[in-house]
Structure 1
Amino acid sequence: MLFDTHTHINDESFDADFSEVLARAQQAGVDRMMVVGVDRPTIERVFPIIDQHKLIYGAIGWNPEDAIDMTDADLEMIKRGLAHPGIVALGEIGLDYHWDKSPKAVQHDVFRRQIRLAKDAGLPLIIHSREATEDVARILSEEHAETIGGVMHCYSDDWTWAERFIDLNFYISFGGPVTFKNAQLQRETAAKVPIERLLIETDCPFLSPHPFRGKRNEPARVRLVAEKIAELKDLSLEEVAKQTTQNALRCFRIDESSENG
């Protein structure tokens, strides 16, 4: 069975057909998933989902694009939310230099404060890094994030950086872009990442894999990512599904014998 380690099924685009989306995921062999909240509205929408579905886990954090909007009250809200038994990670957090809404210094401060929050809570991190790889690696190292580890979400850098993040106790997660015809770098990197440190995701509703590129993504399509990883590594789909699910359970410290909520 497959584990989609990064979804935004709390996005409004799923409101009209939420139950059908979950049914299609189940039919595709996706029995576990992570729902991620990145600001006040989406964080609030995480909790009803994880309360109602025992195999959907939650992650909450403040995204870097909107770092300038985060208040002390927002940080306190995240801190409180981390106590919920269904919340298994803090994220997605990190740095994004593609958009210029939040100054770099503000992003760095918000990133560091949330890493410290995760360390206090003993939870792994889900990292968003866009055009900021060097600073992300430096801050994770300076904050000793290796003590909690986590995931480099929707990875798009090369193997040299992936190796460095693995050394920092992070898993490398690939999504729909690994299936794109122009994504040679992602495929080369995915081929080199040890299967024991690899995760799969959709980042839905974004980044739908080929041949659905440009359409709303959904968790069922993580199967297409798994199939591409299997092809790149000359493994069976079953082997990739089993190993990446085991990796996710280990990364997020999920005890299969217990139910969240």
Structure 2
Amino acid sequence: MKIFDSHTHLNDAILYPDAQQYIEHARKLGVVKMAIVGSDAKLNRLAIQLAHQYDNLYAIVGYHPEEANSFDAAAENELIDQLNDPKVVAVGEIGLDYHQNVVKQSVQKRVFKRQIEIAKDAGLPISVHNRDAFEDTYDILKSADVSKTHGILHSFNGDAQWARKFVDLGMLISFSGVASFKKTYEVHAAAEQTPLDKILVETDAPYLAPEPYRGKQNEPGYTLYTVEAIARYRDTTPDVIADATYQNTLRLFGIEAS
């Protein structure tokens, strides 16, 4: 079994000091590749650093909606330069977060739209953060015509209908540990009904640890438990889910099979 964790944060201060240990443990659980995701200038640089340090790691760089205020001209220029790095496979995590409205919604929207344009110019997919902002996220992606560049709704926490709407735009749906939680029934249905060639898996570590580790610190190896949960909902085997999501992720990121 080979699993690709499509969204993790080994560049986070909690995980970074022991990155090699987490990578080795992940491999023992079948997680052989992972995308390290940035969210601001520092974490973007660390994502790229880790991607060059380890062959099986790749970088996703961008500005999280809660960091939108720091996306100035210098940040934009650095981001555009970083997209020329061969180990950078997507722009993210970008999007909208209306949960606490740390940044004005108007600023979040402007920065989200601009980063989509940058990704399109670079020919790279996007990794989208959406929290309490389904309608606006959908409208922006639809207006941007992401069918040509594609992307990911990361750590999807909506229902099957929303999943279908985003898939119809050209997006893939990535399921995190939330899909394994016992009472997230709408997410279970989305994981069951979304076409298999449109599904990815992730941890979002160190956050959102899946069952049976819910409430504890997450790590990339735990992608296995999300794979197992999705397999149960779809009445198939973990091997089938692991292989399909692995191939989907390679295809989206333009990575040659190995």
TM-score (ref. length: structure 1):
0.96
Shift of 1:139: 0.6
Shift of 1:48: 1.6
Equivalent position of 2:147 in the other structure: 146
Q: Does 1:169 align with 2:170?
A: yes
> Is this contact kept in 2: 1:202–1:219, CA < 8 A?
yes
Cα distance in 2 between the residues matched to 1:59 and 1:199:
15
- Local SS of the residue matching 1:45: helix
> Is this contact kept in 2: 1:94–1:127, CA < 8 A?
yes
Q: Map 1:62-73; keep pairs closer than 5 Å.
A: 62-73=63-74
> Is this contact kept in 1: 2:90–2:125, CA < 8 A?
yes
> Is this contact kept in 2: 1:127–1:153, CA < 8 A?
yes
Shift of 1:19: 1.6
> Is this contact kept in 2: 1:65–1:99, CA < 8 A?
no
Equivalent position of 2:156 in the other structure: 155
AA partner of residue 107 (structure 1): Q
Shift of 1:222: 0.3
AA partner of residue 94 (structure 1): G
Cα distance in 1 between the residues matched to 2:169 and 2:16:
37
Q: C-alpha root-mean-square deviation of aligned residues, in Å?
A: 1.0
Q: Map 1:207-222; keep pairs closer than 5 Å.
A: 207-222=208-223
Cα distance in 2 between the residues matched to 1:3 and 1:255:
13
Q: Deviations over 1:19-64 (max 9, x none)?
A: 2111100100110100001001111111221111111111001000
- Local SS of the residue matching 1:240: helix
Cα distance in 2 between the residues matched to 1:186 and 1:227:
15
Q: Does 1:42 align with 2:43?
A: yes
- Local SS of the residue matching 1:90: strand
Equivalent position of 2:31 in the other structure: 30
Structure 1 stretches of at least 4 aligned residues deviating more than 4 Å after TM superposition: none
Q: Does 1:119 align with 2:95?
A: no
Shift of 1:75: 1.1
- Local SS of the residue matching 1:146: coil
AA partner of residue 227 (structure 1): E
Equivalent position of 1:202 in the other structure: 203
Cα distance in 1 between the residues matched to 2:89 and 2:16:
24
Shift of 1:239: 0.8
Work out the number of aligned pairs and report it.
257
Equivalent position of 2:90 in the other structure: 89
Cα distance in 2 between the residues matched to 1:139 and 1:16:
37
Q: Deviations over 1:93-148 (max 9, x none)?
A: 00110022211111110001000000000000101011111111111111112210
> Tell me, which stretches of 5 or more residues in structure 1 are unaligned?
none
- Local SS of the residue matching 2:124: coil
> Is this contact kept in 1: 2:250–2:256, CA < 8 A?
yes
- Local SS of the residue matching 1:24: helix
Cα distance in 2 between the residues matched to 1:173 and 1:7:
12
> Tell me, which stretches of 5 or more residues in structure 2 are unaligned?
none
Cα distance in 2 between the residues matched to 1:81 and 1:66:
18
Shift of 1:166: 0.6
Q: Map 1:238-257; keep pairs closer than 5 Å.
A: 238-256=239-257
Cα distance in 2 between the residues matched to 1:86 and 1:187:
33
Cα distance in 2 between the residues matched to 1:17 and 1:256:
27
> Is this contact kept in 1: 2:22–2:219, CA < 8 A?
yes
- Local SS of the residue matching 1:128: strand
TM-score (ref. length: structure 2):
0.97
Q: Between the two proteins, what is the percent identity of the paired residues?
A: 38
Equivalent position of 1:182 in the other structure: 183
Shift of 1:17: 2.2
AA partner of residue 163 (structure 1): R
